Amino acid sequence: MSMGSVIYQIVSILILITLILLVVWFIRSSIKKNKKLKRIEQKLIEIENSNTKGN
């Protein structure tokens, strides 16, 4: 096996691993953002309800 072939295979594997990691990172960050938005929405609902009861 030539040195060029070995380098090509290593680079190809690294690119594949990088793509997989990017997809996993994107999914995890999307889930975190969704949870954070739900918490913010719940807090806004609570504030709205407390303002409605106060008036």
- The string of pLDDT tens digits covering residues 9-41 is 999 999 999 999 999 999 999 999 999 999 999
For residues 35-50, give the mean pLDDT. 94
Biggest CA pair distance of the chain: 80
Containing domain of residue 53, as a range? Answer: 1-55
Which pLDDT score, from 0 to 100, does residue 55 have? 63
As for how many domains the chain has, the answer is 1
SS3 1: coil
Q: Does position 48 have pLDDT exceeding 80, yes or no?
A: yes
pTM beyond cutoff 0.85: no
- What is the DSSP code (8-state) at residue 2? -
